[in-house]
Amino acid sequence: MSRVIKRDIPILLLTFTALFQAADTLIEEPTLNSYADSMRSAASIIGTFALILSVTLLTRLHTRRLQRRRTIIESTVLLISLWIPLVWGLWQFSMGGVSPTIEPFVQGVFNGIVSPGDSTIYAILAFFIASAAYRAFRARSVEATILLVAGIIVMLAKAPIGESIWSGFPILSDWILNVPNRAGVTVIILSAILASIALYVRMMLGYERGWMGRAAE
Amino acid sequence: MRGGGWAVQQSEKSTSLWEKLQEIDVRYIYLLVWIVVSIPILKPLGLPLGSISEETMLLYDFIDHLPPRSIVVMIADQGPAAATECQPGMVAIFRHCVEKDLRVLFFASRTEAVPFIEQCMIDVLGASKDHPDYGKLYVNLGFIPQYEIGLSALAANIFYTTTDAYGNSLKSMEFFKDLPTGTAKDWSLAIYFGNSNVDWVVRQVNDPYGCPVAGGVGAVLVSRIYPYYPQQVIGFLTGLRGSAEYEVLVGKPGSAVAGMDAQSLAHLAIIIMIIIGNIGYFVSKRRIGGF
Amino acid sequence: MPLPPICGEMAIKEGYMMPFILFISCMAIIGLSIYLTRKGVIKPKIRRLPAIDAIDEAVGRATELGRPVHYTVGLGSVSNVQVIAGLSILSYVARKCAEYDTRLIVTFSVPNVQPVVMDLVKEACMAAGKPENFKPEDIRWLSGRQFSFATGVMGIIMREKVAANLLLGYFAAESLIFAEAGFRAGAIQIAGTTNSYQIPFFVTTCDYTLISEELIIAGAYISQIPEQVGTIFGQDLIRLITVALIVIGSILYAVGFKDFYLWLNM
Amino acid sequence: MFDFNILIVLAAAAMTLGLYSYLYRENIFFRIAEHAYVGAAAGYSALISIESAWRLLHPHLDKGEYYWLITILIGLMYVFFFTKKYFWLYRYPTAIVIGSGIGVYIARGIKTQLIRRITDTISNVSLSILTPFDGAIRAIGVISALLYFYATMEHKGPMQHISKLGRYFLMAAFGSSFGVTIMSRVSLFIGRLRFLYFTYPAQYVVVLAVIMLVAAIIYDHVRKAET
């Protein structure tokens, strides 16, 4: 009995919702379509509740560190920057219906911490890509040489400087991007969907149970 | 697939200069990148830009040939991260529209893009809602949620939002007088600025209403936009380079042109580094005797 | 509650005729290959995946050095196919780590992954007979925003000096951030994703890479359960059909017979 | 009057430099910036999720469709994860979330990822950029690389050559994607530097950071020489 409610019913639920949504995508039928639409809204409302788990566990991790007097500064900073905007934003939202996207204090935190953080870390890729290129672009084997040559030609074509070295770079890079690159990208996409179909069937039949934490069973 | 990472670190102790360069501390590479990008920003070098790409040229010509008071819709979808690439292009295109007396309707499809619209209007006009032509030629609708659903509602009915970003009623504005259909059929061009995706704009504006689409997109998005070019997407700006080209075409070189110097130098530095790395690799390989 | 009218006009959506046919036939093919595998008519075997075999080596090295293993499923929600594939591999890694008493740090970005990961790691520790090795504080949610998650992971990799860095799941631009942090920490790196824009960075910077579908079949490769391997056989049959469609379609299109192409677009 | 915006610029500059200090090495400033960033982003993203969930839910409640409260009950099943006995209840919401995710993905994926890619290859078979055979080369690339992934057969005999060809195509694709991306990444950094150098009062933070970096390098050097 316990196996039924702990394992079999969730699998059935998953199979049912998946087939229902697939049918909605393929078939035009007003009742089906409107129920499927409601189900998608319901699923995203339900998924939001997982936040309770994550926020609680993150808070617990850092309060424990504070109790053990480890990483005091970092944990204090994290807890303050997590809870003050969260509580204030929720308070404003539930009392006055002020959306957090326009609430001045929450926006201040966003503009002062989150937004510069986003741009900074996105831009740190400039350093990492340079160092990765330095290490990776070595003619170690036939394959690595193909990678290197394709990479360098495209790089040269994209910077103004390449065109002044040789006017053929843009044409050559156009060929690389449209022929081998498009072939490669097409295959990555095709093979991903082929494997996904098989994975979904495995999940719906209950052979793949990694998502319910019982893969080892 | 076997790659090269950890294995590289494990190679033998080096002796010659070339071999030392092979295992150079990555922090020197970081420092080099920082310096190389900083120089042209502090002191622009004015390196030649090269030829202007076809996609940029087509977009410029299209806007140049629009009759006055045509409606151009600008969809801002750039977050702070994508803004470096997209914002100069948005400013340059808006400047061009202002010169040509076109009507420009702004809206943001993500909340983070709202300040960039404001910034764009201030950069070009010197003011946003207080400018005398605001409400006549330029309107900012602010944030319209739910991407595709929001755009589809706006395309079907231009008064979908009823007020602009500052709370003024749309119906009273001169901008919306004499609109034949009130749908996207009246629009001459819809331009998407951002880094996420252009498919939804084409789907909602071009497929049902035939309004041409253009883009000012990050370099990563180019391969996704190409399938629509040049039939549905009539032209687009590719990353910072596209923005720089448009700035040159409008005749007002700005931050994107200056950025291209940094770009050129950085590319050159990376290519030189790759060459040095390869020479070092072959020299050390010969020494070990495996070559 | 107000019910919409039951059973209006039912029809296949426009442009979805071919997807509908293929959906049904793919299900049928995979179902059939599971059936044949169970009956013992076919005995498919998955070819070697060096990246998965290297997991043992990576965990072994971490154990030798006494440093932790880091595992991330990346940015995706639990309904993302790559995350699901990553979770299947995680249960194997967690079990190995528990057996060797090696510390395992798991990071993710979307909250709904949290209960699954915790349950999975706990289960793996119990299966290895070492429930005391399960440490909830090593399973970390690092915010739902892409780059703050990346920063958190970057910090953990460097601070904890991880010896093995396993990046299997859904990644966007932050892929290179993780790979570079792992490189600076001197870790063995095994990566896998189906995102065509990120694979280049993994191939060039990591020691082993699971490209595209190799990531998704890895769960079946590890478990070796006949039914799971059977679905992979079905997947290969669909692959052959795809190849056939491309060959036939291209030849017909080249000689000017375009009906086949239009038919596919139906 | 105290200007709130100055504070925001200072915080932004400190965040930027604090995070970049990672490039030199892991240090206390990076750790503070990292924790502030993770905390604020977690709080902000939680707020946004809660708001959008509420915007989905409340139109139904306004219409009097109270059976939508069931979603809250199912969502609360996650909370039972903290109990020893009923922790497995999380599988119900998880099943619904996964099911509705993959159902949409699989049917759309067959159209956009499978059929579109096939027809795209077919219709470009007579593509010509450098040679008239470019489209055919692309189709061969697609076929050989697709066969490279053939999983239930060891690659021997003719298959070995086909899959090798497929790998070459994949490598060219990876190399060129890498090359294209370098450009956009460099331009992102330009934007950050512009902010640091030209926004008042961010410049002062930069000067301070440079002094601190030099001090750190000297300190590290001395300590290394001692040991």
pLDDT score of C5 more than 70: no
> Chains meeting D at 3+ CB pairs closer than 8 A?
A, B, C
* C88 vs A188, A197, A210: nearest CB: A210
Rounded-to-integer distance, Cα B177 and Cα C51, Å: 65
Residues of chain A neighbouring D98 (CB-CB closer than 8 A): 14, 18, 203, 211
Chain B residues near residue A181 by CB distance under 8 angstroms: 223
| Distances in whole angstroms, Cα of residue A92 to Cα of each of A88, A101, A106, A115, D42 | 6, 11, 10, 21, 18
- Which residues of chain B make contact with D197, given a CB cutoff of 8 A? 38, 41-42
One-letter identity of residue D174: F
Residue of D nearest to C21 (CA): D110
Question: A–D: how many Cβ contacts below 8 A?
Answer: 383
pLDDT score, position C7: 53
> Which residues of chain A lie closer than 8 angstroms to D118, CB-CB?
190
Q: Which sequence spans correspond to the domains of chain B?
A: 6-43+260-288, 54-253
Q: In whole numbers, what is the pLDDT of chain C averaged over residues?
A: 90
3-class SS letters over B99-145 = HCCCEEEEEECCHHHHHHHHHHHHHHHCCCCCCCCECCCEEEEEECC
pLDDT tens profile C147-163: 999 999 999 999 999 99
pLDDT for res B10: 45
Q: Where are the beta strands (DSSP E) in chain A?
A: 27-28
D138/A111 touch (CB, cutoff 8 Å), yes or no = no
User: With pLDDT > 70 as the criterion, what percentage of chain B qualifies?
Assistant: 93
Hey, is the C-beta of D61 within 8 angstroms of any chain A C-beta?
A: no
Residue of C nearest to A148 (CA): C204
* pTM summary value: 0.88
Output the pLDDT for position C28.
Answer: 94
Residue of D nearest to A198 (CA): D106
Q: Identify the segments of chain B with pLDDT beneath 50.
A: 4-12, 14, 289-291
- Nearest Cα residue to C151 out of D10, A83, D20: D20
What average pLDDT values come out for chain A (217 residues) when binned by 10 residues? 83 93 88 88 90 93 92 94 94 85 85 90 91 86 90 83 80 89 91 92 87 62
Cis geometry, peptide bond prior to residue B80 (ω within 30 degrees of 0): no
Residue C108's pLDDT is what?
95
Quick one: closest CA in A to C238, which residue?
A194
Class level of CATH domain B54-253 = alpha beta
Q: How many CA atoms lie within 13 A of A10 on its CB side?
A: 26
Question: Half-sphere exposure of residue B34, counting CA atoms within 13 Å on the CB side?
Answer: 15
Q: What is the pLDDT of residue B1?
A: 56
Predicted confidence pLDDT, tens digits, chain D (227 residues): 467 788 888 999 999 999 999 999 889 999 999 999 999 999 999 998 898 888 888 888 888 888 999 999 999 999 998 988 888 899 999 999 999 888 888 888 888 889 988 998 998 888 888 888 888 999 999 999 999 999 888 888 888 999 999 999 999 999 998 888 887 788 788 888 888 998 888 889 999 999 999 999 999 999 988 87
Give dist(CA D171, CA A142) in Å, integer.
10
Interface test with A, best of B274, B275, B278 (most A CBs within 10 A): B274
Amino acid sitting at position D155 = H
pLDDT number for residue A14: 93
The per-residue pLDDT for A217 is 47
Label residues A120-131 b or e (16+ Cβ within 10 Å = b).
Answer: bbbbbbbbbbbb
More confident residue, B222 or C76: C76
**Does C242 sit within 8 Å of A190, measured CB to CB?**
yes
Q: Is the pLDDT of residue C65 over 50?
A: yes
**Cα radius of gyration (chain D):** 28
pLDDT band for position C30 (cuts 50, 70, 90): very high
Cβ atoms of residues B221 and B198 within 8 Å: yes
Query: Who contacts A78 (Cβ-Cβ below 8 Å, separation ≥6)?
Result: A58, A62, D35, D36, D38, D39
pLDDT digits (tens, 9 = 90+) for C201-234: 999 899 999 998 899 999 899 988 888 899 999 9
Instruction: Return the bridge partners of C167, or none.
Output: C72, C191
The stretch C138-147 carries a mean pLDDT of: 91
Closest by Cα among C123, B150, D181 to A154: D181
Task: Name the 3-class secondary structure at B223.
Answer: helix
pLDDT at position D14, please? 93
pLDDT of residue C182: 94
The one-character DSSP state at B38 is: H
- pLDDT tens per residue across span A27-42: 888 888 889 888 988 9
ipTM comes to 0.89
Q: Distance (Å, rounded) from C-alpha D129 to C-alpha D135?
A: 9
C-alpha span between C75 and C146 (Å, rounded): 7
The C-alpha atoms of residue C192 and residue C6 are separated, in whole angstroms, by 46
**Mutate which: A2, A78, A105, vs D, most D CBs within 10 A:** A78
Which distant-in-sequence residues (6+ apart) come within 8 Å of C144 by Cβ? C109, C110, C111, D41, D42, D45, D46, D49
Interface of A with B (CB under 8 A): 101-102, 115-116, 118-119, 122-123, 126-127, 130-131, 133-140, 144, 148, 152, 155-156, 158-164, 177, 181, 185
Residues D197/D200/D203/D205 CA torsion (nearest 10 deg): -130
D30 CB neighbours in chain C (<8 A) are 155
CA distance C61 to chain B (A): 12
Q: How far is C190 from chain B (nearest CA, A)?
A: 9
Per-residue pLDDT, A85: 94
Contact D30, D21 (CB under 8 A): yes
Subunit contact C183:B5, Cβ cutoff 8 A:
yes
